[in-house]
């Protein structure tokens, strides 16, 4: 059965990719929606370590991964900046998709995220934009849909199982970040329309700098293990540029 094979692939490789997940007309429609909404995107530029922290640890050496600050830059369209009839929202809220994803990731059932910003994002990368090496923070899995690929660059690169729940593996992480382990970097082929489910918590990954005129446009979907989840206002302030309500 297809879902069983995808689950096995995810468990073995820490990612699985499904080509042609969205019809070309729907994909083009989502690309248009992203281009039209782009003036409302939050330009998200940051200098941070691979643990998504903006501050290093002065008690550690300069070449410790916690002190290796990396540049990232994307344009982020939050859920409430995307039209309600955009195909990425339709897909996200469609029960058969949620059920299929739940079976692949082995967390059943899954629920929609209820935050105003977080459930579905369109992440746009123009020339020079990139996502630096990082571990995803809380989510057990991440799901992305390539809506438009860049002409050059914009590769999704991952080093499976760089660390584990028990071992931070700092020395290895440092070598990966310094480019000393190219043989361990998996470049995940993503043509337009491909869905990717990956476990980014312990597998460091990045998007290499985008080159060329064509914007890389990625749909990102967040499902939850329990109903009613909303985001942390501070995280929304950082990622989406929202005001933090006064305490």
Ligand X SMILES: O=C(O)CCC(=O)C(=O)O
**Nearer to ligand X (CB atom), residue 4 or residue 42:** 42
Strand order in the sheet with 216-221: 15-18, 195-198, 142-148, 216-221, 120-125, 70-77, 42-48
Q: Of 23-31, 41-49, 177-185, 199-207, which part binds ligand X (CB under 6 A)?
A: 199-207
Q: How far apart are CA 146 and CA 62, in angstroms?
A: 36
Beta strands 156-159 and 210-211 are unpaired
**Nearer to Fe ion (CB atom), residue 59 or residue 138:** 138
Rounded to a whole number of angstroms, the CA Rg of the chain reads 18
Q: Is 27 exposed, middle or buried (0-12, 13-18, 19+ CB in 10 A)?
A: buried
Long-range contacts of 85-88 (CB under 8 A, 24+ apart): 86/29, 86/30, 86/33, 87/22, 87/26, 87/27, 87/29, 87/30, 88/30, 88/120, 88/122, 88/145, 88/147, 88/219, 88/221
Any contact of residue 65 with ligand X (CB under 6 A)? Answer: no
Decide which of ligand X, Fe ion, none touches 30; Cβ closer than 5 to 8 Å per partner kind.
none
User: Could you tell me the smallest distance in angstroms from the CB atom of residue 7 to ligand X?
Assistant: 20
Instruction: Please say whether the beta carbons of 10 and 195 come within 8 A.
Output: no
User: Could you tell me the smallest distance in angstroms from the CB atom of residue 169 to Fe ion?
Assistant: 18
Any contact of residue 218 with ligand X (CB under 6 A)? Answer: yes
**Nearer to ligand X (CB atom), residue 189 or residue 244:** 189
Instruction: Please say whether the beta carbons of 34 and 146 come within 8 A.
Output: no
User: Could you tell me the smallest distance in angstroms from the CB atom of residue 74 to ligand X?
Assistant: 8
Any contact of residue 70 with ligand X (CB under 6 A)? Answer: no
User: Interaction with ligand X in 167-186: which residues (CB under 6 A)?
Assistant: none
**Nearer to ligand X (CB atom), residue 33 or residue 129:** 129
Decide which of Fe ion, ligand X, none touches 79; Cβ closer than 5 to 8 Å per partner kind.
none
Binding residues (CB under 5 A) for Fe ion: these are 136, 200
Any contact of residue 157 with ligand X (CB under 6 A)? Answer: no
**Nearer to ligand X (CB atom), residue 69 or residue 220:** 220
**Nearer to Fe ion (CB atom), residue 14 or residue 150:** 14
User: Could you tell me the smallest distance in angstroms from the CB atom of residue 233 to ligand X?
Assistant: 20
Q: How far apart are CA 28 and CA 43, in angstroms?
A: 23
Residues of this chain that interact with ligand X (CB under 6 A) are 123, 131, 136, 142, 144, 156, 200, 205, 207, 218, 220
């Amino acid at each position: 059965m297809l879902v069983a094979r995808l689950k096995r692939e995810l468990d073995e490789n820490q990612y699985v990719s499904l080509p042609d997940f969205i019809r070309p007309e729907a994909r083009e429609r989502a690309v248009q929606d992203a281009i039209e909404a782009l003036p409302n995107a939050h330009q998200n530029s940051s200098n941070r370590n691979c643990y998504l922290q903006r501050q290093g640890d002065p008690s550690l050496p300069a070449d410790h991964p916690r002190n290796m600050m990396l540049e990232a830059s994307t344009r982020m369209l939050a859920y409430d900046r995307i039209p309600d009839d955009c195909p990425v929202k339709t897909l996200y809220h469609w029960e058969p998709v949620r059920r299929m994803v739940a079976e692949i990731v082995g967390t059943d059932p899954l629920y929609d995220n209820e935050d105003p910003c977080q459930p579905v994002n369109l992440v746009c990368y123009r020339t020079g934009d990139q996502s630096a090496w990082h571990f995803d923070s809380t989510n057990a899995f991440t799901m992305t849909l390539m809506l438009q690929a860049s002409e050059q660059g914009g590769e999704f690169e991952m080093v499976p199982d760089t660390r584990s729940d028990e071992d931070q593996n700092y020395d290895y992480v440092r070598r990966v970040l310094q480019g000393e382990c190219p043989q361990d970097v998996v470049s995940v082929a993503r043509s337009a329309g491909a869905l990717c489910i990956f476990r980014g918590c312990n597998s460091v990954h990045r998007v290499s700098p985008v080159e060329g005129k064509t914007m890389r446009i990625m749909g990102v979907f967040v499902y939850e293990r329990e109903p009613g989840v909303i985001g942390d206002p501070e995280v929304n302030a950082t990622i989406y540029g929202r005001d933090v309500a006064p305490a």
